[in-house]
Amino acid sequence: MGPYRFGGGTAVVTGAASGIGEALAEQLATRGSDLVLLDRDAERLAAVAGRIRAAHPSLAVATTVVDLADDDATVRVAADLAAAHPDVTLLVNNAGVALGGRFDQVTADEFDWLMSINFRAVVTLTRAFLPALKARPGSHLVNVSSIFGIFAPPGQAAYAASKFAVRGFSEALRHELAENGVGVTVVHPGGIKTRIAETVRVGSGVSAEEYEQGRAQFAKLLTMPPEKAAAQIVAAIERRRPRLLIGWSAKVPDVLVRLLPGSYWRLIARRAGRQVGPPARD
């Protein structure tokens, strides 16, 4: 499969109002891609789209406001967008949320809320746009997992479950779509400096003191600018890389998991501790 060609195609990006999604939208526009941008934050999304339109007046930039936690709304929006944009050649499932708390500290509703955004929305959007991608050999799919799709720390049962699911879904699709000439990249970001530490949801059973300790600890890990992470993702798309680990906070744990699959946490915990907090991502 040759390099992905950005110009002349349409890219769909979820979670495009901030962080990695915003940076990806801007860099894809620079490469010549028309854009379909999704987010639940209407004001921020409009601002991102406005800047891109001003900088690239020849490109088509469409926006859709949707809360991916609403399964029914996600299905409707995905179907409508797939019908309106049959020329899509790139889908980036980037949107994600965090939920701090051990499994016994989060309710079933809280767990399901996270899974609806982090995993079910990925499946729904992929299902809707897959016919368009398959109809254009050379298209590409990107699903953003996390380093917590490589290893699973205590206090992140829900988040790790969703990101391991994204990883497995992506790897199976990569094998299935190879015969159609569609590339698939799964991305595992480490400590990216975005709003996730500010917007993390806390399980109902987590004390304020426990959460604040974890939030402050994880916030210190969020150091890489989202623009740098986005540049690596764009390069991975172009080169058809199947897997992308971003940052040493992703690469080092990946090695530890490979070497010590059953006992890696004892080493990681010496540095990270066992606090509850948002994941080093998004």
The CA distance from 22 to 39, in Å, is 10
The CA distance from 243 to 237, in Å, is 10
pLDDT of 278 reads 43
pLDDT tens digit sequence for 33-88: 999 999 999 999 999 999 999 999 999 999 999 999 999 999 999 999 999 999 99
- How distant, in Å, are the alpha carbons of 51, 108, 119, 201 from that of 205? 41, 12, 23, 12
User: How many helices (H) and strands (E) are present in the chain, helices listed first?
Assistant: 11, 9
| Alpha helices, H only, the chain | 19-30, 42-55, 71-84, 108-115, 121-135, 157-177, 196-199, 208-219, 226-239, 248-259, 264-272
The CA distance from 170 to 188, in Å, is 12
Q: Which residues are marked as active site? A: 159
Categorize the per-residue pLDDT at 170 as very low, low, confident or very high, splitting at 50, 70 and 90. Answer: very high
pLDDT of 220 reads 59
**What is the rounded average pLDDT for all residues in the chain?**
90
The answer, yes or no, to whether residue 196 has pLDDT greater than 50, is: yes
DSSP state of 104: G
Two tokens, residue 245: 């680990």
**Complete domains list, the chain, with CATH:** 10-272 (3.40.50.720)
The CA distance from 159 to 118, in Å, is 8
Terminal Cα-to-Cα distance of the chain (whole angstroms): 29
Average pLDDT over residues 228-246: 97
> Structure pTM?
0.90
Categorize the per-residue pLDDT at 213 as very low, low, confident or very high, splitting at 50, 70 and 90. Answer: low
